[in-house]
Amino acid sequence: MSTLSLTNYQKSFLKSLELQGKSFNTVKNYKTDLNIFNTYLINKGRDLIINEVTITEISEYGEYLKNKYNSPNSIRRRVQALRIFFDYLIREEIFDHNPVKKMLVQPKVVDLPKPTPFKIAKALKEQLQSSADNEKGHVQLLAQRNIILFDLIYGGLKVSDIERLEHAHIILAENKYRVIISPDKRDPYTISLDKTFNDNYTKYEKLLEQAKNRDKTDFSKLMFNANPFKILSGGLSARGIEVIFKELSNEINHQITAKYLRQAAIFKWLSLGTPHSRIKEWMGVQPKYSLKPYLDLQSDEPHKYTYPTL
């Protein structure tokens, strides 16, 4: 059997995922996970050749991951990526079996929610509102964009949802805005936003249109990437949102992340008595998903985990 490049087949595998309609982030995550396997082989002094990979090396890869990562879920994801890649190699008739299926991994761990405390969320919103009210020009636009970003995440949207949002996805019905979410593997649905979003969005649209004309640019994305002086491009990546929240954390002297702010939104829905079936839809999870971790925390410390609307 001739030698076969591992990296070339990985590229073909990633291309097949794109052709299946997998999102950019999904393909990127697979690439990252497979590169970790490549690094493991290189550190062992091995060439990246498919037909030289042994079952022993794959078994030892599990131990390598356990030593490298503390999170069982991170280990599971990387093993799963490698397993799916070997399934692809079977379809390509490079392997006649999947050696990864024999790897033992720790069971999936459900992390307890760590929602942003309400007083911190409130302080951040007030800080953003103060900047939007007192600043001018481009700085004011950035503050207003960050208010919209806050409203969307505290409204329950994931970062991956926000990355692909366009203005056309924001719709007004009965004097209340809703956001259309279009997942890769399920039918579109909408999330209802708090009424405070109404005025914020009107101001944002006006400021953004003025900035587009000033900077001679145009795009359909709802968010935008910018430096302190001008808009650079339409759209805002997960990394860009992470950077924004790091800067905002410094401003209020408290760490705040998009993940934990969104978890606060889930407690907000529970506090408002939103039906669990609707909460699960807005979370983008299956009906069988259990809200027990949220309900237990809310029951144990109701004052701490009751989130009014801002």
Q: Which residue has the tokens 């366009």?
A: 166
156-210 pLDDT per residue, tens = 999 989 998 999 999 998 899 999 998 876 788 999 999 999 999 999 999 999 9
pLDDT 10s digits, 139-158: 999 999 999 999 999 999 99
Residue 8 buriedness (CB in 10 A; 0-12 / 13-18 / 19+): exposed
Q: How far is CA 135 from CA 22, 24, 129, 146, 249, in A?
A: 41, 36, 10, 13, 19
Q: 3-state DSSP call for residue 62?
A: helix
Q: What is the bridge-based pairing of β-strands 224-226 and 231-234?
A: antiparallel
**Which has more confidence, 69 or 193?**
193
Res 191: pLDDT: 95
The pLDDT of residue 110: 59
**CB-CB contact of 189 with 281 (8 Å):** yes
Residues 6+ apart with CB under 8 A from 90: 96, 97, 98
- Alpha carbon distance 305, 170 (integer Å): 29
* Percentage of the chain exceeding pLDDT 70: 95
Higher pLDDT, 277 or 2: 277
What is the residue type of 257?
T
pTM score over 0.75: no
Q: Is the pLDDT of residue 213 over 70?
A: yes
Tell me how far apart the alpha carbons of residues 119 and 123 are, in angstroms, rounded to a whole number. 6
pLDDT, residue 13, reads: 94
What digits encode the pLDDT tens for the residues 83-129? 899 899 899 888 888 878 766 555 555 568 999 999 999 999 999 99
Please say whether the beta carbons of 50 and 37 come within 8 A: no
Q: What is the pLDDT of residue 24?
A: 82
pLDDT in tens, 18-56: 888 787 878 898 999 999 999 998 988 888 887 777 778
The tens digit of pLDDT for each residue in 230-243 reads 999 999 998 899 99
- What's the CA gap between 195 and 204, in Å, rounded? 15
Decide: helix, strand or coil at residue 156.
coil
DSSP-derived pairing of the beta strands 224-226 and 176-181: unpaired
Q: Quick one: which of 251, 243, 224, 246 has its CA closest to 124?
A: 251
The mean of the pLDDT values for the chain is 89
Kindly list the structural domains of the chain, giving each domain's residue range(s) and its CATH number in brackets, ordered by start: 6-102 (1.10.150.130), 118-300 (1.10.443.10)
Contact 147, 125 (CB under 8 A): yes
Q: Long-range pairs for 276-283 at CB < 8 Å and ≥24 separation? A: 281/189, 282/156, 282/189, 282/191, 283/156
The number of C-alpha atoms within 13 Å of 143 and in the hemisphere containing its C-beta is 19
Q: Is-contact 217 207, C-beta < 8 A?
A: no
Encode pLDDT of 250-308 as tens digits. 999 999 999 999 999 999 999 999 999 999 999 988 888 899 999 999 999 888 888 88
Backbone dihedral angles phi then psi of residue 49, each to the nearest 5 degrees: -120, 125
Token code pair at residue 119: 């007083």
132/151 Cα distance (integer angstroms): 14
Q: How far apart are CA 25 and CA 163, in angstroms?
A: 10
Sign of CA dihedral 197, 202, 203, 209: positive
